[in-house]
């Protein structure tokens, strides 16, 4: 079926809902790490840098496993890859809830990250197979709303569960939900019946030739968005602690406030996809540069706030930071899929996630270390804003989009 054919399988929207819900369930376990931080930090005797290392353990596993997970997604298919990812993620999250020590928790979160690494590449393969190019960034953004959606679920559900079953019971519940969803997804998935074609020519024929050429074409966007991801992970990891330590919020409201940022991310992931598909005619680079510029400004604004700042200044910044800094990934995922081509979308996304996760693994605890050493969140936010600016410049200079042919 051609790109311009009006006949499109309406079941694609059910598929999109299924993989979006997959992200919600998976991300709820992932974001339980930072959402519950104000509750377990004191009990386990952790510094801010150690809290960051929990998230880094999760992302370190993604660094090592994402490329292989993408390769498997191309070969195993979406159903098997995502189902096994949820099953492993859920079991290891329950193990983390039982942790008696920092080391046990780090090891459990590392193994949970291995399970989570299967979800993004496989779901992106699903979007590439079911959606045409004029809907693809929107669809990628929509399914990526499941990630902050999971953050909203964790931020709303987990603190309430803590009041009933403690932080261990809350974290275990997020793991059990993933185990159950593995069987729901496996029984519900359906493969696309029609082969889609694209009206663009990959730069340097990257998707037509396997090997080093494709990976060279993917490298600029992978490296540039890695710095964006550092900002994203810092924001969602340290925001509850920042609100508690620097802004005077209680532990409960610090965790709950994260839902505002995650809600903004849900809007951003769809909204930026629509902007890219419709307003900019399928161009991705200009949208990513715009998102990065706004993100740097918002992080700088955070550095200028104090305990005396009014809520009407703080809350919109938290929301808009979610829209931009946590909301960009649908556009970047669509671009990676278009550079790599549908046959190697999983491998392309695996490479990008590997590079992104490696930077996030280092950058997230580094932010906490800066705060621990200087006692200043403001200085750490300013360092982050400068780093995002470097990513913007790298993308502007190095990234080349695929050329459209029709």
Categorize the per-residue pLDDT at 359 as very low, low, confident or very high, splitting at 50, 70 and 90: confident
Q: Which domain holds residue 99?
A: 12-187+202-404
For residue 109, being part of any structural domain is answered with yes
Categorize the per-residue pLDDT at 137 as very low, low, confident or very high, splitting at 50, 70 and 90: confident
pLDDT > 70? residue 257 = yes
Categorize the per-residue pLDDT at 331 as very low, low, confident or very high, splitting at 50, 70 and 90: confident
* Nearest-10 Cα torsion for 38, 44, 50, 56: -80
pLDDT of residue 95: 92
For residue 5, being part of any structural domain is answered with no
pLDDT of residue 298: 94
pLDDT > 90? residue 293 = yes
Question: Could you tell me the CATH number of the domain that includes residue 153?
Answer: 1.20.1250.20
Tokens at residue 153, please? Answer: 């679920």
Looking at the structure of the chain, the number of domains it has is 1
* Nearest-10 Cα torsion for 337, 340, 343, 348: -80
For residue 351, being part of any structural domain is answered with yes
| 263 vs 23, more confident | 23
The Cα-based distances of 308 to 173, 239, 258, 313, 321 in angstroms read 37, 17, 20, 11, 20
Element (H, E) at 148: helix 146-188
Which is nearest to 339 in space by CA: 196, 205, 147? 205
Average pLDDT in the 75-79 region?
85
Q: Global pTM?
A: 0.69
Alpha helices, DSSP H, located in 189-211: none
Categorize the per-residue pLDDT at 185 as very low, low, confident or very high, splitting at 50, 70 and 90: very high
User: Is 348 within 8 Å of 214 (Cβ atoms)?
Assistant: yes
Neighbouring-strand partners of residue 201: 403
For residue 345, being part of any structural domain is answered with yes
For residue 6, being part of any structural domain is answered with no
Q: What is the distance between the alpha carbons of residues 238 and 245, in angstroms, rounded to a whole number?
A: 10
Enumerate long-range contacts of 295-300, CB under 8 Å, 24 or more apart.
Answer: 295/228, 295/231, 295/321, 295/324, 295/325, 295/328, 295/388, 296/385, 296/388, 296/389, 296/392, 297/385, 298/324, 298/325, 299/231, 299/235, 299/325, 299/381, 299/384, 299/385, 299/388, 300/381, 300/382, 300/385
Neighbouring-strand partners of residue 404: 200
User: Is 333 within 8 Å of 349 (Cβ atoms)?
Assistant: yes
Q: Give the residue carrying structure tokens 């490298």.
A: 219
Categorize the per-residue pLDDT at 209 as very low, low, confident or very high, splitting at 50, 70 and 90: very low
Alpha helices, DSSP H, located in 36-47: 37-44
12-35 vs 102-116: helix axis angle to the nearest 10? 170
Comparing 91-95, 172-176, 208-212, which segment has the lowest mean pLDDT?
Answer: 208-212
pLDDT of residue 55: 73
Which is nearest to 70 in space by CA: 357, 394, 391? 357
How many residues would you count in the chain? 406
| 192 vs 188, more confident | 188
pLDDT of residue 207: 42
The Cα-based distances of 281 to 212, 251, 318, 395 in angstroms read 29, 44, 29, 19
Q: What is the distance between the alpha carbons of residues 68 and 221, in angstroms, rounded to a whole number?
A: 20
Average pLDDT in the 290-300 region?
94
For residue 50, being part of any structural domain is answered with yes
Categorize the per-residue pLDDT at 4 as very low, low, confident or very high, splitting at 50, 70 and 90: very low
For residue 397, being part of any structural domain is answered with yes
For residue 160, being part of any structural domain is answered with yes
Phi, psi of 209 (to 5 degrees): -125, 125
């Amino acid at each position: 079926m051609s790109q311009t054919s009006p006949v499109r399988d309406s079941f694609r929207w059910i598929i999109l809902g299924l993989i979006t819900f997959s992200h919600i369930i998976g991300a709820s376990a992932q974001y339980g790490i930072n959402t519950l931080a104000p509750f377990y930090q004191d009990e386990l005797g952790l510094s801010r840098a150690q809290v960051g290392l929990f998230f880094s353990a999760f992302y370190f596993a993604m660094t090592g496993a994402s490329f292989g997970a993408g390769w498997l997604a191309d070969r195993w298919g979406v159903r098997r890859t995502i189902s096994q990812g949820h099953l492993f993620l859920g079991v290891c999250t329950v193990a983390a809830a039982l942790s008696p020590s920092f080391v046990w928790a780090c090891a459990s979160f590392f193994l949970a990250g291995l399970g989570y690494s299967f979800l993004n590449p496989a779901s992106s393969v699903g979007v590439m197979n079911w959606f045409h190019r004029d809907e693809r960034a929107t669809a990628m953004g929509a399914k990526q709303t499941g990630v902050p959606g999971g953050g909203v679920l964790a931020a709303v559900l987990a603190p309430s569960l803590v009041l009933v079953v403690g932080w261990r019971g809350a974290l275990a519940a997020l793991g059990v939900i993933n185990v159950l969803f593995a069987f729901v997804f496996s029984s519900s998935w359906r493969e696309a019946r029609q082969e889609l074609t694209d009206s663009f020519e990959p730069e340097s024929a990257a998707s037509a030739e396997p090997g080093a050429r494709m990976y060279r074409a993917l490298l600029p966007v992978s490296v540039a968005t890695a710095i964006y991801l550092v900002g994203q992970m810092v924001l969602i990891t340290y925001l509850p602690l920042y609100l508690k330590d620097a802004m005077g919020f209680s532990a409960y409201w610090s965790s709950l406030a994260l839902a505002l940022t995650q809600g903004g991310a849900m809007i951003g992931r769809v909204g930026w996809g629509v902007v890219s598909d419709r307003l900019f005619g399928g161009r991705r680079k200009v949208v990513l540069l715009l998102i990065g510029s706004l993100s740097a400004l918002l992080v700088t604004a955070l550095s200028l706030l104090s305990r005396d700042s009014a809520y009407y200044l703080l809350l919109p910044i938290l929301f808009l930071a979610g829209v931009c800094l946590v909301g960009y990934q649908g556009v970047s995922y669509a671009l990676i899929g278009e550079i790599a081509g549908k046959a190697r979308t999983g491998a392309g996304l695996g490479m990008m996630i590997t590079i992104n996760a490696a930077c996030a693994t280092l950058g997230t605890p580094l932010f906490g270390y800066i705060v621990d050493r200087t006692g200043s969140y403001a200085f750490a936010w300013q360092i982050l804003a400068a780093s995002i600016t470097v990513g913007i410049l790298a993308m502007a200079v190095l990234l080349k989009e695929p050329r459209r042919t029709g």
